[in-house]
Structure 1
Amino acid sequence: MIVKKIRNTKAEKPKAWQIGDLVDYIRFPHNRNPREKIEYADGRGFLSATHTGQKVEMIALARESVHSDMPVQHWMFSWQEGEQPTREQVEEVVDMFLEKMGLTGHQTVYGVHYDTDNYHLHVAVNRTNPETGKVVLPFNGLDIQEAHKLVAHIEGRQGWASEENSMYAVLENGELARRRTAREIKPKQAALDFEHATGEKSAQRIAQERGHSIIKDAQSWAELHEKLAEVGLRFEKKGSGAIIFVGEKAVKASSVDRAFSMGKLCKRLGEFEEGTYPDALGKIAPEPVSSVNLEAWKMYQEEFAGGPKRAGTAGNAELSRMKERHRFERKKALSHLAKYGLPVLNIARHCLMAQQRAERLSLRSGRKKVRGGKPRFENWLRSRGMEKEANCWRYRAAREVKRNAPPPAERREKGAEPMRELADFRKYADAVNAERYRVTCIKMEEDGGKKTFILDKKGGMTRGFSPDELEAHIPEMLRFQKRGENIYYTPLSDDRHHILIDDMTRDSLKKLQEDGFRPAVVLESSPGNYQCLLTIPRQGTEFDRDVGNRITERLNREYGDKKLCGCIHPHRAPGFENRKPKHRREDGGYPQVKLLFAERRECGKALALARRIDHEYAEETEKRKAERRTFPMPDFWPGDPASAYYAHLENIRRHLTIEDYSRVDAMIALRLRSNGHSRENVEETIRTCAPTIRETQTGRNWQRYAERTADYAFGPAGDRDLERNERYRELWRKIERTEEKEQRIRMK
């Protein structure tokens, strides 16, 4: 999942025009692009329920912000191909976005489009506060960073796939972690688009592959020019910058690497010196960007070798003929309508112009040419019935990763030299007996801060590594350790709990064993500090996750870290170093995490505790089902709206699981209005009764809360929802009549 903050490229237009155009596009994208469809759209924070009314409201409120040229922001969330969010999930994304940005209650228009293979959500939100009229600046303008954090939370909550190079990830314990990756030198997006379209290496990629190391390691201008000439490249100064010629194509040197700008190179190599290059440096033959469909790509290149200009000319000629035909149609059709007057003539002109514009757009989109007049490689394959090859090309990245990955046997042979870390992992994995292992790398800063990322090349947040896969990554983990990283393992299994007891002393470890608990693994994470893992099977009930968390919490409260309460939790990797700054020795080294004990076994006492906790959960669930939760309800007179409030609350509880009490209050307010209660009575009832049903008290302004709830129930949104729920209104009246009868019986 990705998020983008869409830049405003039409700042010269009036504010009202920009907002109106954006809202129209979100709700009616097919008016701008016939191929773009709307899946779902809605709005929030408006009095009006119509599209035009909401647009006028947003424009009117935005005009109040005289100090902001454009208070309405445009955001986009996009899901991966094959993922399709439901309406409830879209609403949840909007809820989380507005809450994260501090814009809850602001005017918002949003819609889900599917003009491509990816569903994407457009959100237009007015940063002008509807109550104060002031413009809110989320996170002082640094909101894109927070939006990436929000995407990680959405992925973790709704289960969407993460992008391979996403900035943040949510760990198993719910903690948000920053992914730290080494800076990768790769072409810019425009060059990548060209490569995807043609299958041919871009000039930027060739310059990076052939010239990056040369320019980086050069000690003088003469050496730089000489070695670049050997690989067919040429470096020249242009204005105040520098360019690299790849054959006849020029590439900005700073696009190859930011360190290769003319200013930075001059600081390193001195004042620029011109180089001498042989005349033999000429055009570089096209090179394939991928080995997928290599033979088909060669056929594609041969077919269009030397013919791009003719293909482009043919397309332009066809477009010219169409324009000539359109001029003739306008002249012939409109000449007969002049006698009906200017209004009719203008209508005909407009309709004919729209029809001809759509025809020209269809011609241009149907050709789908790329630079040089070639059709896209994927389209060329499909036009020849090579659907399988076209799909292979579309998803070539995954095939190349799979093709280039050596099998586990080969990996072990290449890493045959003995490694302490590898040996310790094998003993540890045999004892823990987990299905997969998450590897987490954390760098500790001197000021107490930390930077975290997960070593998972597949991009998924819950997959982890199999033991063979993890062994293949041991050398990479050692490189991370040299860079200052702390290495952690998290065992993951579908049918077993792996209970971590952290931060133990020698005495607490001894007491744990004396009390009958049998750990599978015992680690000395630092001198005098211990960690241990207990393995027990899952019970296979609906309470498995809660049972694991409760056991972890109880055992850690008694023997280890009193703050640890999550069953799935990372721990120090045996064999690697504990690189916390406080453990640094005088010689600059760090203590090793020692594997003191490793034996595959299940802890019988922990299993008995798990069964007891599971039984407690089952009994508590049955008790909740048998005894309905009641709320404090004083003796009200019949017909009192407060009595009706609790009656409706009980009815809602019988049919729904209450997660959001604000939504429940809105539902009750709408029912009270439907049954004839006045706005004043509804507002006072919400103010009085709403705080009594909350399990924890908050510092909320209940008077303002009651006013907002009554505004909804008696406003346009309430009118609309009453119409939608017309079939339930008799049931709502029956609920209050039943309550009145019960009140009379109690009074007697």
Structure 2
Amino acid sequence: MSTDLACTVGHQLRALGNRTFELGVQARGTGRMRLRTCGAEAILEALETLRTKNKNHHFIRIRPKWPHPFVLVDDVKIGHVQSLDEAGLSASVVVETSPGNFQVWLDLGRCTNRDATTVIARTLARLLDADRGAANWRQAGALAGFMNCKNKHQRTDGSYPIVQLHFSRRQVFARAQELLASSERTVALRRKRWEEIGGLYAHARSGSVKPIASFHGHPRYDGDLHRADLGWAIHALTHGLGAHEVERTILAARDLQHKGSRREQARYAARTVRAAYQKGLGLSCEQDLTPLLEQEGRVR
């Protein structure tokens, strides 16, 4: 085992709490990621195996095991990284995933719910002009010391850039409590609106809800069962079916083993219902907290 690699990985894990992690090995060709729950010691013992996987064009990912107090922001540029402290957003971990592109982990100081963490992640992504598509509670980041083997980063000599650890220190950023309070209020208000909308449709007869199979087989969806699930969820919610009933129907309607474990399948059903509320019923997914962070010109 390389002493330098072990040192780098150890520093990153300690800054992320030195607790239980989810270690991901993601195939470049398919994008499929295999996750393993393990402690920091087990990760350090597996470095040679991980290095071999990495040389065979697998990405090495890491995230603390949920629940945890961290938020990941992906694809941050150097100018925003340099202004984090001044903005009250001091990072716990900063890694350079490719030349000029950074990931930052921020410590909220305490755990909150998944929806609030996602609101915070998306707010920070907007604020830092980062990747909004990667802004959610479950995003895994790059593990420092391994290659970023994306095709677009391959050098003329065939090599790839190594993910560099620039900073690691366990610290809660100054504005964490402010963001936590605002995001949790946002989530509570959104849930209240969902309940109110559900009440508006409660008078509808459940017998008027079409079977989900009729959506799966509809030519409109051209075999895209994910879109069909979403379409049916919108239909069912607007015809008086409750959110839990919609989730149960989605889970029972077809084989979802490709989504992963039963827990991952349940999360898929829950995400579909949330998307139905947001896209089909016009409920906003999140409140933009950026103005809160920009007050008094503290963030530019």
1:440, 1:452 within 8 Å by CA — same for their partners in 2? no
Match of 1:341 in 2: none
Provide the C-alpha distance between the structure 2 equivalents of 1:625 and 1:442, rounded to a whole number of angstroms: 39
SS in 1 for 2:75: strand
Q: Establish whether residue 437 from structure 1 lines up as the match of residue 21 from structure 2.
A: yes
Task: State the secondary structure of the residue aligned to 1:563.
Answer: helix
> Equivalent residue of 1:427, what SS?
helix
Show the counterpart of 1:364. none
Q: Give 1:467's aligned amino acid.
A: A
Counterpart in 1 of 2:210? Answer: none
Amino acid at match of 1:564: A
* 1:452 alignment counterpart: 32
Tell me the amino acid that sits aligned with residue 452 of structure 1.
R
Please state if 1:427 is matched with 2:11: yes
Question: Do structure 1's residue 519 and structure 2's residue 68 form an aligned pair?
Answer: no
Q: How far did 1:528 drift?
A: 0.8
**Is 2:71 aligned against 1:499?**
yes
Counterpart-to-counterpart distance in 2, 1:482 and 1:663: 48
Q: Does 1:617 align with 2:187?
A: yes
Q: Deviations over 1:82-108 (max 9, x none)?
A: xxxxxxxxxxxxxxxxxxxxxxxxxxx
Contact kept? 1:497, 1:567, Cα under 8 Å: no
How many angstroms apart in 2 are the aligned matches of 1:506 and 1:607?
25
Q: What are the residue-to-residue correspondences of 1:197-346 with 2, within 5 Å?
A: none
Deviations 1:128-174, CA, capped at 9 Å, x for gaps: xxxxxxxxxxxxxxxxxxxxxxxxxxxxxxxxxxxxxxxxxxxxxxx
2:137 is the counterpart of 1:558: no
Q: Distance in 2 between matches of 1:537 and 1:487?
A: 26
1:261-295: CA deviations, max 9, x gaps? xxxxxxxxxxxxxxxxxxxxxxxxxxxxxxxxxxx
- One-letter identity of the residue aligned with 2:16: V
Please tell me whether the aligned partners of residues 441 and 454 of structure 1 are also in contact (alpha carbons under 8 angstroms): yes
Match of 1:484 in 2: 57
Q: Is the 8 A contact 1:436 1:467 kept in 2?
A: yes
- In the other structure, the counterpart of 1:532 is 104
Question: Take 1:529 and 1:664, find their aligned partners in 2: how far apart are those partners?
Answer: 43
Identify the residue that residue 588 of structure 1 maps to in structure 2. Answer: 158
Q: Aligned residue for 1:602?
A: 172
Q: Normalising to structure 1: TM-score of the pair?
A: 0.27
Asked if structure 1 preserves the Cα contact closer than 8 Å seen for 2:109 and 2:176, the reply is no
Matched, 1:473 2:53: no
RMSD: 3.3
How far the C-alpha of 1:425 sits from its partner, in A, is 1.1
| CA-CA distance at 1:546 after TM superposition | 0.5
Structure 2: how far apart are the matches of 1:623 and 1:590?
48
Structure 1: distance between partners of 2:240 and 2:13: 53
Paired with 2:66 and 2:195, the residues of 1 have a C-alpha distance of 32
Per-residue deviation, 1:513 = 3.1
Q: Taking structure 1 as reference, are residues 696 and 452 closer, same or farther at Cα in structure 2, changes over 3 Å only?
A: closer
Residues 620, 589 of structure 1: alpha-carbon distance in 2 compared, 3 angstrom cutoff: closer
Question: 1:535, 1:423 → 2: CA distance?
Answer: 21
What are the Cα deviations for residues 5-30 of structure 1, in whole angstroms up to 9, with x where unaligned? xxxxxxxxxxxxxxxxxxxxxxxxxx
Partner SS, residue 425 of structure 1 = helix
Aligned-pair distance for 1:419?
Answer: 2.7
1:482 is aligned with what amino acid?
A: K
Structure 1 gaps of 5+ residues are 1-416, 457-463, 632-645, 651-658, 668-693, 698-748
SS in 2 for 1:465: strand
Contact 1:557 1:563 in 2 (8 A): no
Counterpart of 1:546? 115
Query: Tell me, what secondary structure is at the counterpart of 1:604?
Result: coil
Shift of 1:455: 5.2
Distance 1:493 1:537, change over 3 A: farther
Q: 1:660 to 1:419 in 2, by over 3 A?
A: same
Q: Given residue 507 of structure 1, which amino acid in structure 2 is its aligned partner?
A: G
What displacement does 1:613 show? 1.4
Query: 1: CA distance between counterparts of 2:111 and 2:163?
Result: 32
What is the total number of aligned residue pairs between the two structures?
Answer: 220
Unaligned runs of 5+ in 2: 207-232, 242-277, 282-300
The 8 Å contact of residues 524 and 531 in structure 1, kept in 2 or not, is answered as: yes
Once the two structures are superposed, residues 13-60 of structure 1 have per-residue CA deviations (whole angstroms, 9 ceiling, x without a partner) of: xxxxxxxxxxxxxxxxxxxxxxxxxxxxxxxxxxxxxxxxxxxxxxxx
Identical counterparts, % of pairs = 21
Instruction: Report the Cα offset of residue 565 of structure 1.
Output: 2.8
C-alpha separation in 2, matches of 1:695 and 1:451: 27
How far apart are residue 594 of structure 1 and its match?
Answer: 0.7
Pair 1:568 & 2:138 matched: yes
Pairing 1:3-152 to 2, within 5 Å after superposition: none
Q: Report the AA paired with residue 76 of structure 2.
A: M
1:665 and 1:611 map into 2 onto residues whose CA distance is 34
**What letter corresponds to residue 34 of structure 2 in structure 1?**
I
**How many Å apart are 1:563 and its aligned residue?**
2.0
Task: State the alpha-carbon separation in 2 of the partners of residues 664 and 526 from structure 1.
Answer: 46
Residues 436 and 492, structure 1, Cα contact 8 Å, conserved in 2: yes
For the pair 1:509 / 2:81, whether they are aligned, the reply is yes
Distance apart, 1:537 and its partner CA: 3.6
Query: C-alpha displacement at 1:454, in angstroms?
Result: 1.4
**Aligned ranges for residues 710-729 of structure 1 at < 5 Å?**
none
Are the structure 2 counterparts of residues 436 and 586 from structure 1 closer, same or farther at C-alpha, using a change threshold of 3 Å?
A: same
| Mapped partners of 2:152, 2:234: distance in 1 | 45
Provide the C-alpha distance between the structure 1 equivalents of 2:279 and 2:133, rounded to a whole number of angstroms. Answer: 24
**Where does residue 227 of structure 2 map in the other structure?**
none
Aligned equivalents of 1:590, 1:695: Cα separation in 2: 40
Aligned residue for 2:175, secondary structure, equals: helix
Q: Which TM-score applies when normalising by structure 2?
A: 0.63
Higher CA-based Rg = 1
Q: CA offset at residue 614 of structure 1? A: 0.7
Give, in angstroms, the shift of residue 539 of structure 1.
5.2
Q: Secondary structure of 2:134's partner?
A: coil
Amino acid in structure 2 at the alignment position of 1:529:
N
Q: CA deviation at 1:624?
A: 6.4
Q: CA deviation at 1:486?
A: 1.9
SS in 1 for 2:133: coil
> 2:198, 2:240 within 8 Å by CA — same for their partners in 1?
no
